[in-house]
Structure 1
């Protein structure tokens, strides 16, 4: 791996507009995971069992596409083993494990807010390591997005904080930051599908090891899952979680990051929080308030500002 944080956009025919569409698709499908998992949690599934099953299914779904992407390039699994290992351990397993450890001792909203400081961490990393000092538009966009995130997560209603939870949430932020930085590396030669597929395998194995040691509690149930529109058999949300909310967003997310660069892609990913609120409305009948809708608009405005500011960086 020549460098982890390559923020140079790849010269590909899809272009920036295609990258934005892929990033939006990735963020939207990621956002579906919470509302889908809610039904399983209500029937007695543990977060660890859900996330392990989700990542394992995603790894199986992407396996044939990974094989095709690596045709004639199998040596990359050896030469880029460190990148794949870091992606699987930090960006997949680490982010998931630390986030669920955080929400075990604190409210979901502040945990998400801490984890989603990842875009600011990406900007800081690129500034420190590559000298890409953020311009005024980038800073203004970051401020808008942060304000929007606070509104969407409804933090003003009060939140339960615990120092252990805060520490786990910051660890999840490191995992999320590594996701954007590692995915942006275009020098490794690893196709996006290959990195996603191989990284998910590493992530599933890592989560499995945590489950075996007891660090990741595992509880499952075969009872039907209830949602606002009706009941589903227990396996249906698991399949959706693995295919729609993991295989699709990890694959499209890496492709988007390579097109947009880690800075812009990390801010577009904030749309995941807005999508989660909208999906919660449909799946579990949690109606978003005016403040949350306003927060979504601020996040979109912040992303536009960051994108415009990104043009000024050589």
Structure 2
């Protein structure tokens, strides 16, 4: 059971890892980053809503007392994370932006300990810190670093929203609403919220009938968009929610840092981007942090309050 849960979390990180490379192909086709984000959110939301209407309509029902939660999930856990990241990279180097966003595991364990008042195994804290340190090496945060007050503040808010994604996934039960319904409405709501920023009416839709070349590799733009929607969004979010609910927010958030490593490896294969020594060493450190964190869920405790699990969480 534990191994299966960890495998689901790793699968989610790998699926998310396709986001950057596939978005690069859309960018090469002429779409702006925000337009690519909107295509991703709108496509995933539409696909999930239509699929659930056909095979599982009850999943789309939102209890009245959960309306605000679903709206907050769409705005904070999805739209804000996506929109803020692309704002931050206009003011800070991409490596710094990634590092800021992926301080989320540290924020999650701090929230769980001091707000929820739940004790975690020491390996959960250590794993989160080690994973973030590894990411600093992977993105070579020291290279071309510059500070911008607004960018730094937006990056920290993006990290808080990313932490909110994990905490909110752990803060509802199947009795509240179907997880698939939450994801479907989250994607759809995010697409609506991002309309003023993405302005999809300006998208060159004819680009989806062409091919795009990145790093000497050519793909159909429509194929890249579908992979971004189906794998890097739908599959990634579904497995991500399942993983958090099985492993807890603290452990799930730390394991999710493997997304950056997966993205680097995928870019190596698909885009021809070479992996340097820093990426390899940093990746090993991130992996060590993720393994440390998941070991917190591996050791049985006599006091159920020692370790946060989906069953132990009192916030529902």
TM-score bracket relative to the smaller structure: 0.7 to 0.9
Residues 1:242 and 2:235 are matched in the alignment: no
3-state SS, counterpart of residue 283 of structure 2 = helix
Partner Cα separation in structure 2 for residue 256 and residue 246 of structure 1: 15
More divergent stretch after superposition (284-293 vs 97-106): 284-293
Q: What residue in structure 1 maps to residue 146 of structure 2?
A: 160
Mapping for residues 1-40 of structure 1, pairs under 5 Å: 15-40=1-26
Q: What residue in structure 1 maps to residue 188 of structure 2?
A: 201
Mapping for residues 153-232 of structure 1, pairs under 5 Å: 153-187=139-173, 189-212=176-199, 219-220=203-204, 222=207, 224-228=211-215, 230-232=217-219
Gapped regions of structure 1 (runs ≥ 5): 1-14
3-state SS, counterpart of residue 157 of structure 1 = coil
Q: What residue in structure 2 maps to residue 6 of structure 1?
A: none
Corresponding residue to 1:46 among 20, 32, 36: 32
Q: Deviations over 1:276-310 (max 9, x none)?
A: 11111112211111221121111111112122234
Tell me how far 1:83 sits from its aligned partner.
1.6
Preserved CA contact (<8 Å) 2:106 2:129: no
Partner Cα separation in structure 2 for residue 262 and residue 297 of structure 1: 22
Q: What residue in structure 2 maps to residue 283 of structure 1?
A: 270
Aligned pair count reads 297
More divergent stretch after superposition (41-50 vs 264-273): 41-50
Tell me how far 1:97 sits from its aligned partner.
0.5
Tell me how far 1:60 sits from its aligned partner.
1.8
Q: What residue in structure 2 maps to residue 268 of structure 1?
A: 255
Tell me how far 1:45 sits from its aligned partner.
1.5
Q: What residue in structure 2 maps to residue 83 of structure 1?
A: 69
Tell me how far 1:71 sits from its aligned partner.
4.3
Tell me how far 1:82 sits from its aligned partner.
1.4
RMSD: 2.2
More divergent stretch after superposition (78-87 vs 240-249): 78-87
Aligned CA distance change for structure 1 residues 37 and 71 (closer, same or farther; 3 Å): closer
Residues 1:121 and 2:107 are matched in the alignment: yes
Residues 1:104 and 2:82 are matched in the alignment: no
Preserved CA contact (<8 Å) 1:69 1:194: no
Gapped regions of structure 2 (runs ≥ 5): 308-316
Preserved CA contact (<8 Å) 2:61 2:181: no
Residues 1:256 and 2:243 are matched in the alignment: yes
More divergent stretch after superposition (177-186 vs 224-233): 224-233
Preserved CA contact (<8 Å) 1:67 1:194: no
More divergent stretch after superposition (200-209 vs 66-75): 66-75
More divergent stretch after superposition (22-31 vs 232-241): 232-241
3-state SS, counterpart of residue 231 of structure 1 = strand
